[in-house]
Amino acid sequence: MKQRICYLYMEIRKTCKIIPRVILQAVLLMAVIGLLVVGGIGSMKRDPLAVSVDIAVAAGEDNIMTRMALGYVENMESVSHLCHFLQVTEEEGFRMLKKGQVAALILLPEQLVEGIMNGTNPQVTVYFPKNAGLETMLFGELTKAGEGLLRVAQAQIYGAGDTAVEYGLTESISQMEGEIDSYNLAFALDRLALFEAEQVSVFGALSIVHFYMASGIVFFLLLAGMALYPVVQREPAAFSLQMERQGAGIVWQCFCQWFCGLVCMGLLAAIAWAAFSTAVRCMPDSVARQLFPGQSGGAAIGLRIGTAALILITVTTFLYMLYSLAGSRTGGVLCIFLLSVVMVYLSGGLVPSLFLPEPVQAAGERLPTAYLIQAAGAFVTGREEMLGGQCLLRLCIYTAVSGAVACFMRCKVR
């Protein structure tokens, strides 16, 4: 046992001597990644996505009722964010449609409002351009929705009217129509009252900032592993055998090296996190709050520490396995770089996996990086639900398998 402890102590001493070099390399790496991130953020910095659909409206007559109806539709909650109606003449409307200046042209017939009121329903014609773009498609959908609403509203009015006539309540028809109108206006046309707002994001439950923070952490840790070689490199075979003679077997030797690698990675991660936190403190409060939404308290801190430990253990074991498989510094570094990029990409860490082909998505979901990003998400947000039991189990399995493969390779090569 004394020999084993002594070996662990020596490995730690060796790591302490190497660590300044490892940190220097990692700092350089951080600087490069930082520059890339700053460049990326700069190029992405623009106003939030604003879709404005210009619609040309040509009214057959310019009466107050038509203008009121148009104004009402334009100010509707669901339309006002998206559509901008331009009152034009019919010729002007067609010209604008041809030039692609508007997404659609609506031709309103004469006596439109009166027709709706008296049930003759004059036809409204909507022209879309041939090669419809996103705006046109959007307006098309809105039109369909509006048409559906109108159809239901008219059915209600006619149904109520017919029923009233059948039961001899003709004097109540106008009152009933008024009430139906007010209900429609209060509920059917107010989308917020009818539909539950649900935010759907390609980043899942994470915000875009947190998602890229999570994938950035995983990517950084994997790439930082390129500097880890001196710590986890194979000792000379003669040394390994001599140690085994002394009672410190190959598994113990692997454990000691892995442990030193873990300490090293932990230190690197702590330095990187400290640097990041310092940078965040220098940012405006609104940005800082966006990055760290304020999950605090013992549970969140405990979760963060636990998740960080899990991520570090998994990443270190994975890196140790790669170095053991590669057998040399060049091979290991190349292997880590290529695998990190490919795996993070396949797991949707660079481009959200929803935008990737389905087979790639399916493959990416099974990679350890997918679960590492998920765990890093829990670390960043401090939200427990981000780290599911399956994620935890998978990471433990990946760690165990990587460790076993690394030990096997070291035994085999020796």
Partner 1 sequence: MITVTDITSAYGRKQILRGVSFTAQRGECIGIVGANGCGKSTLLSVLAGTLKPSAGQVLYYGRKAWSDEETGRMRGDREVIRKMTGYVPQENPLIPELSVYDNLRLWYPDKRTLQQEMEQGFLHLLGIGEFHKKKVSKLSGGMKKRVSIGIAMAGMPPVLLMDEPSAALDLLCKEDIRRYLQVYLERKGTVVITTHEESELALCDKLYVMKDGRLRQVDSGLRGEALTDKL
**Mask of contacts with partner 1, 174-213, x by CB under 8 A?**
----------------------------------------
* Amino acid found at 173: I
Of 239, 267, 265, 269, give the one whose Cα is nearest residue 253: 239
Residue 337's contacts (CB-CB under 8 Å, 6 or more residues apart) are 223, 226
* Amino acid found at 392: L
Q: Is 245 in the site for partner 1 (CB under 8 A)?
A: yes
- 264, 22 contact by CB (below 8 A): yes
Among 101, 121, 125, 242, binds partner 1 (CB under 8 A): 242
**Nearer to partner 1 by C-beta: 19 or 108?**
19
Q: Is 328 in the site for partner 1 (CB under 8 A)?
A: no
Count of residues that bind partner 1 according to CB under 8 A: 22
Q: Residue 267 CB, nearest distance to partner 1 (Å)?
A: 17
Q: Is 237 in the site for partner 1 (CB under 8 A)?
A: yes
Residue 340's contacts (CB-CB under 8 Å, 6 or more residues apart) are 219, 222, 223, 225, 369
**Nearer to partner 1 by C-beta: 394 or 410?**
410
Q: Residue 313 CB, nearest distance to partner 1 (Å)?
A: 24
Instruction: Give the up-direction half-sphere exposure of residue 102: CA atoms within 13 A in the CB hemisphere.
Output: 24
Of 165, 157, 212, 222, give the one whose Cα is nearest residue 183: 157
Q: Which two tokens stand for residue 140?
A: 């098309």
Q: Is 136 exposed, middle or buried (0-12, 13-18, 19+ CB in 10 A)?
A: buried
**Nearer to partner 1 by C-beta: 206 or 231?**
231
Among 72, 158, 187, 239, binds partner 1 (CB under 8 A): 239
**Nearer to partner 1 by C-beta: 163 or 246?**
246
Q: Is 238 in the site for partner 1 (CB under 8 A)?
A: yes
Of 4-63, which residues contact partner 1 (CB under 8 A)? 6-7, 10, 13-14, 17-18
**Nearer to partner 1 by C-beta: 240 or 369?**
240
- Order of strands across the sheet with 53-59? 83-87, 53-59, 104-108, 125-127
Site for partner 1, rule CB under 8 A: 2-3, 6-7, 10, 13-14, 17-18, 230, 235-239, 241-247
